A and B are shown apart, each in its own frame.
Chain A
Amino acid sequence: MKRFLETGNFAITEGAILAGCRFFCGYPITPATELAEAMSKRLPQEGGVYLQAEDECGAMHVCIGASLGGMKAMTATSGPGYILYADPFGWALGCEMPLVVVNSGRVGPVSGITGAPGQGEFYLTRYPTQGGNFECITLAPNSAQEAMAMVVEAFYLAERFRMPITVLGDQLITDGFEDITVPENEDEMKEMGFRTWPRGSCAGPNFYPFSDDLDIPPVQMGSGAGGLCSDWTPTEQGYDIEEVEAHHKHAYRLIYKVRNHRDLFNHLYEKKYMDDDPDLVVVSYGTPSRVVNTAVDKARSLGMKVGALRLINLWPFPDEHFTRKTKYLTVELNWDGQLVREVQRAAPKDSEVHFLGTCGDLPTIPDLLENFEKLLKNQPLERKGWELEAW
């Protein structure tokens, strides 16, 4: 294994290559520009192809083409580019093409603040396109090393589920440096828990069976398969049609192939001090979870019965972690509160669910401790006007 100091962008690039990615098409944007740069350097060395498109919408369409041609493909961007994926994301979901999409969150909306972290696309990664009638899978690492692992995992899931998978990071993960260990062969990949899945090619006769089955290889153009890639409803035989019953069957597959196989990714979470029924559960994902971990250690040493739940698999939302009636606090990199809404929905009725948001910078440990203490003493969180949205 190799070990060095590098950025998350570099770690993601190496992870993609380890997973078999040989095609990248994107459009540079802070804080994912260095990812495109690293891909442009590394892919040709591995016999792969790097392309820069005219914009993000074009980039993801090109990636769909590469995937239809049998390549494992990836694109990467930040929030302002992720929203431009809306059209091709629908195509990739509807045509069931494996792809990996990386979003490095910065401060929004619109251009916002480029070189600072944000978590404004929590819901957008669940609903990245129009029309509904689909499920999405989102993985959110909290370090450069884990970003590498989650990109490898995303390629694995993309192949098995035949769909685009989002890896949701933030500026601190992609732009930040960290000591990174890169496996150099398959044995070392296994040792690090990395799993891969080869690209298959659907040979028919049924190209789009009306079932929730996994591991049906995707349609591959030019491989003798007769299936189609269309924005209309596919029939079982691979033709397209515009008809409600057929579309219902199609949507069933898009929804339930994910919902019925959550066991493939719902182990992706981390719990800390959660075995003694804590009085307060702090819920977070991405980089804020690292500050939360340190704060919770400190809180325990001060006698506060606080636990930490870090989500890695964000979508489909893991409701199973919220069965206990207790106090919850979400710590997020946004000021409007996004994760908190989902925790409110999943938690038992009448659970107290609170929100603490920062954006552009991480919360501080004293701030977290102060809020833990207040919640444990049943005191309201201090409202600081524009600084804290009331929940």
Chain B
Amino acid sequence: MKDRLEIVASGFGGQGVVRLGQVLGEAAVKEGLRVTMLKSHGTEMRGGYVRAQVVLSPNTIDSPMCENPDFFVALSSAAYNRFKDTVPESGVILFDPAFVEEIDEKLACTHRELPAKQLAMDNFGRPIFSNSIALGAMAKLLENEMDKEVILESLLEIIPKFHDKNREAFQVGYDYMS
């Protein structure tokens, strides 16, 4: 585990941006790491702009800001365009093409496409499971940092409903990235 791992997720309200950060953060706490997660949002519960900034570290975390995220989960074009330039060369942008239609080919970082919404519709007929699919994908990307099973356990704790389908969706995302 490096001294500081930064994860940004951003999109609009209702997509589960904060939940995604919360699940990864809770898993990191279970792994014995220190965690901060800032969330910024508009007044609206749904539809407004949302960003979660998660910092993980084996040590005390001073700045809770993600200025150079190792991972950026982009769930809207606006979010992608706003934060894409902060991702360093070694960083990864995970994006859903249902929301981010055009990517910037000039960026030095790695882009990983995850059609989470489409996978949720194909497998479960409902877009609501796209968040668990994204978490499964993140579990694959973070496999050197955190145990996949701990992330899944945290997901099932934080999202108390539809455990079977969420478990399945998590695996769909994990397999898609494998």
Contact = CB atoms under 8 A, between A and B. Distances in A.
Interface residues of A, number: 27
Given A4-B26, A5-B22, A5-B25, A179 B64 contact: no
Given A5-B35, A172-B38, A177-B39, A294 B62 contact: yes
Given A4-B26, A179-B29, A115 B62 contact: no
8 contacts: A114-B43, A115-B39, A115-B41, A177-B22, A178-B35, A178-B37, A179-B33, A290-B63
A280 interface: no
Nearest to A115: B41
B29 A290 contact: no
Nearest to B25: A5
B40 A115 contact: yes
A177 B37 contact: yes
Contacts of A361: 40
Given A179-B25, A364-B65, A365-B67, 18 more contacts: A5-B22, A5-B26, A115-B41, A175-B39, A176-B38, A176-B64, A177-B25, A177-B39, A178-B35, A178-B36, A179-B28, A179-B29, A179-B36, A290-B62, A290-B64, A291-B63, A297-B62, A362-B63
A3 B29 contact: yes
Contacts of B62: 290-291, 293-294, 297
Interface in A95-146: 114-116, 143
A287 interface: yes
Contacts of A115: 39-43
Contacts of A364: 65, 67
B176 to A, nearest CB: 26
B39 A176 contact: yes
A293 B29 contact: no
A176 B18 CA distance: 10
Nearest to A365: B67
A30 interface: yes
B150 to A, nearest CB: 13
Interface residues of B, number: 23
Given A177-B36, A179-B34, A365-B63, A4 B29 contact: yes
A341 to B, nearest CB: 26
A177 B64 CA distance: 10
A227 to B, nearest CB: 45
B21 interface: yes
Nearest to A111: B43
| Residue with the greatest number of chain A CB neighbours at <10 A, chosen from B22, B28, B61, B65 | B65
B35 A179 contact: yes
B65 A291 contact: yes
Interface string A152-192: 00000000000000000001100111110000000000000
B64 to A, nearest CB: 6
A5 B37 contact: yes
B42 A293 contact: no
A172 B43 contact: no
| Residue with the greatest number of chain A CB neighbours at <10 A, chosen from B21, B40, B67 | B40
A5 B42 CA distance: 23
A5 B31 CA distance: 12
B87 to A, nearest CB: 15
B27 to A, nearest CB: 9
Contact of A176 (B37, B63, B67): B37
